[in-house]
Amino acid sequence: MAEDVGFEPTIPCGITVFKTAAFNHSANPPRPRYSTTQRCVLTSNLDAFGRMWVMTDKDYMLMAIEEAKKSAARGEVPIGAVVVQRNTNSSDNNKLINTTETERVIATSGNAREELGDPTAHAEIIALRKAAARLGRWRLSDCCVYVTLEPCVMCAGAMHQARIERCVYGAPDTKAGALGTLYAINEDTRINHNFEVKPGVLQDECADLLRDFFKGRR
């Protein structure tokens, strides 16, 4: 038994996670590496070793990248978006795409302008619409939008109208970026809502998607 040699289980038996009595530190096995597909279908906030698994900005951006790849496969410009809500212990939890202790994914989308013939069908716009429909309200003040390309004026404006809490994007857009590159709608004090922006998460991976897509079209 582990107790006989100076170890004390930190959680119920059957999970191989221990701490030493003398040094009081965890002897956890390494965190498993999940594929993006596995991340999308997990509905428990425990990993394979029974420990709490907390998603990072990079994890959510990987999900957005998967949506962008789906768009490219449909002939759309590869841009993907994910909306994450801070967990409010909703009774809707059994329907979630993914859930953790503090937050949950409530909407995902890729670009769909060609498919829908709609100039407003950017990934962010569709994801915001899905999120609002899911929550039954337009105000998304407890939500963060992850998107592979810096939002344009239209999408940044929609985020302002939705009163989002935060936006995380991958690659900057030197021709249309409205969250820091050409404009900074998120921090314009003349309008009635500002929100946090974190740029450059998996920037190279996001930029490569676009570069490869347009290279193949030339």
Q: What is the mean pLDDT of residues 111-129?
A: 98
Out of 19-28, 69-78, 173-182, pick the least confident. 19-28
Residue 163: name the closest of 83, 104, 57, 81 by CA.
83
Asked if pLDDT for residue 23 goes beyond 70, the answer is no
Residue 1 in tokens = 């038994």
Q: Which residues pair with 196 in a beta bridge?
A: 166
Q: Are 206 and 175 in contact (CB under 8 A)?
A: no
Residue 63: pLDDT band with limits 50, 70, 90: very high
Residue 68 in tokens = 């962008």
Name residues whose C-beta falls within 8 Å of residue 214's C-beta, 6 or more positions apart in sequence: none
Asked if pLDDT for residue 17 goes beyond 90, the answer is no
196 catalytic residue (yes or no): no
Q: Which of 124, 150, 165, 196 is catalytic?
A: 124
pTM value > 0.85: no
Residue 39: pLDDT band with limits 50, 70, 90: very low
Tell me the residue type at 138: W
Residue 171: name the closest of 125, 217, 212, 119 by CA.
212
How many Å apart are CA 157 and CA 145, to the nearest integer? 13
